[in-house]
Amino acid sequence: MLLVYEDSHKEHLSFLTDLETEVLKEFGRISLNFIRKGINPKIFQGAAQKLGVPVETVQHGVEGLMYLLIEGSRFLLNEVDFQDSLMTLGFSEETRSTLLELYLEHRREVRQILDDMSLDLPHYHNLEWRFDVQLASRSLRHQVAPLVLLKLQTKDDEAKKTTLLQTDPVNLVHVTHVLEEALQEMKSGYFRRIARNIK
């Protein structure tokens, strides 16, 4: 899989093609620092003065490099795919090898940072159920009103939450049918391609 760039990303990354290896490594260090701790605009000004270029150019170059590292780590690109993604940008061999070394060295850390930033939603822990049937009432002596009572427990980190639900068998069969369709959909090739890109 290759990374797809918008024109703005290509423009931002084009600034990196003319940089010396040591300066490029410094840009990589700044980008990783920003991924870890957030952006610090003061660093852009210092780097812009040293290189004699506008602050926006430095900022765009660092942001473009951050995008490259984040997207590569998010898709867990292998060495060949990452290099091929860099070739489409017109980087020299030396620049590609420097960026590849930076990516391979830090991709697990970047992926861990992305994982820490993602939403941690409650997940299933336990389910208890009971089937109740009302056979008669004072006004209706011959009726059958079945109900299914559910006690759903979800877990969010270590905190457990209990939710009580009540439904009739017809709705429960419908919910079951919809969930089974969703599980079948997960086995399709289309879903697998999407899931691979999300990870």
Contact present, 3 and 72 (Cβ < 8 Å) = yes
Whole-angstrom distance, CA of residue 191 vs CA of residue 99: 31
pLDDT tens for each residue of 34-82: 888 888 778 888 888 888 888 888 888 888 888 888 888 888 888 888 8
**Model pLDDT, residue 196:** 63
**Model pLDDT, residue 126:** 92
Q: In what order do the strands lie in the sheet with 159-167?
A: 123-134, 145-156, 159-167
Query: What residue type is 48 in one-letter code?
Result: A
User: Model pTM?
Assistant: 0.59
pLDDT tens for each residue of 104-160: 998 888 888 888 777 777 888 899 999 888 777 777 777 778 899 999 999 987 889
